[in-house]
Structure 1
């Protein structure tokens, strides 16, 4: 098996370029940083490196098409910066807030923001609930944070009128939506759509749950 090194993490092919557009260079640099530091700093598991580009960086881009044309975005539980950093690279016109309570992850995010010169990004070392009433955005993203019935009360109070929560989910997305239906209605959601996105055209579907507020 070919050794995976930081220099070989990013894939420079037509599909990656199509997905990421002008953000490809920044995303490639971000992937290299994650490959070099991610396992050491407890951001990614040791088995993630071979699939870092496809399963994490490109997968984060699945949300981009559902973001508003302008305005603000909060990425809750940003962790290693997935999907928040990738989306900030892809959508420089958005004000992006990375929300992460853990100090070591916040230190990493601040280093990445500086290294990639992301002047549209702010990092908040808080739990999402601490921003309720203090931050209102047009969209909130979350990836591998919590089940939807637990995630919604964290995220939806940050979403302004007409805005949306965009949660990346696995095969049980529909079950999570059903279980969270009462909570979603109580939090002002008027429409829920499960988008199935096949990023690479290989049948590996990413499910994006879009919950819109009135």
Structure 2
């Protein structure tokens, strides 16, 4: 049985099996924002389940499998950078990383309205002043959004994910993709695509070793002077011309920006 400081009283709508107590590792990872992390887990277990963002069977293992699995990614993110979480969904890994690392400026990029609504509510509820919610698809943001680090979890195979994520990076930035035991195999199969997309170095690292029971496998892809390759450079130039004529993308903490789709 897990031990640790009990979570605050769960709100109405939590599944019958309830949310487990936060494990001791949560205090280590989140520090002063531990209570906010507990609140986020409660939101996932209630509104996240009700809106179909988290399966009800995931509630008993929310801490280890989801919240902490994502939060330990903060170990490999450089200090004080800008970060975009592509296909953020319920805020994984973006929100746990933002909770663990208040020095980061985090953008949660998500195309679906029902998910961005949840993200906006969560950001407001948790008081995350270092987080922006932006509605849109990664491929639409090339030339309109530029960050130091891109993160993603369970979005797409690595070669396809790189095609979406690497063009959003600044020169010499990096993509951190959370993968399972197949990380090495995916990386091996995607090397050709990564090279074409401007990647110059890649590896698999383990985050959370010594902190959580099961470390997180992270594919780390670093780019050179041309993130995303030739096509992305062309699209960035075109977007820059358009922005000079009509203004750039805007986003705000807990607010929307960029996307036009409704669902």
TM-score range, shorter chain: over 0.9
Q: Does residue 4 of structure 1 match 2:14?
A: no
CA contact (8 A) 1:191 1:211 kept: yes
Q: Aligned-pair distance for 1:89?
A: 1.3
Pick from 96, 103, 106 the counterpart of residue 116 of structure 2. 106
Q: In the alignment, does 2:198 pair up with 1:185? A: no
Greater Cα offset, 43-52 or 190-199: 190-199
Distance 1:37 1:199 in 2: 32
Give the aligned partner of residue 100 of structure 2.
Answer: 90
The answer to whether the 8 Å contact 2:173/2:222 transfers is yes
The question of whether the paired residues in 1 share the 8 Å contact of 2:108 and 2:134 is answered with yes
What is the rounded CA distance, in whole Å, between the counterparts of 1:95 and 1:206 in structure 2? 22
Equivalent in the alignment of 1:211: 221
SS in structure 2 of the partner of residue 47 of structure 1 = helix
- SS of 2:67's partner is helix
- How many pairs does the alignment contain? 210
Larger-gyration structure (1/2): 2
TM-score in terms of structure 2 length: 0.76
**Are residues 1:154 and 2:157 paired?**
no
Secondary structure of the residue that 2:119 maps to in structure 1? helix
State yes or no: 1:57 paired with 2:70: no
| Stretch of structure 1 that moved more, 160-169 or 85-94 | 85-94
* Structure with the bigger percentage of strand: 1
Q: CA deviation at 1:92?
A: 1.6
Shift of 1:22: 2.0
Q: Give the whole-Å Cα distance in 2 for the aligned partners of 1:10 and 1:185.
A: 44
Instruction: Give structure 2 stretches of 5+ with no counterpart.
Output: 2-15, 225-263
Relative to structure 1, the CA distance from residue 169 to residue 12 in structure 2 (aligned partners, 3 Å threshold; closer, same or farther) is closer
**Aligned partners of 1:100, 1:134: CA distance in 2, in Å?**
15
Q: Which runs of 5+ in 1 are unaligned?
A: none
Distance change in 2, residues 1:179/1:149 (3 Å): same
Q: Secondary structure at the match of 1:146?
A: coil
The answer (yes or no) to whether the contact 2:150–2:174 under 8 Å persists in 1 is yes
Task: Tell me if the contact between 1:10 and 1:32 (Cα under 8 Å) persists in the aligned partners.
Answer: no
Moved more, 143-152 or 15-24: 15-24
| Aligned counterparts, 1:41-80, within 5 A | 41-80=51-90
Cα deviation code 1:5-53 (max 9, x no counterpart): 2xx434152x221122222111111001111112110011121000001
Q: 1:167 aligns with which of 177, 180, 183?
A: 177
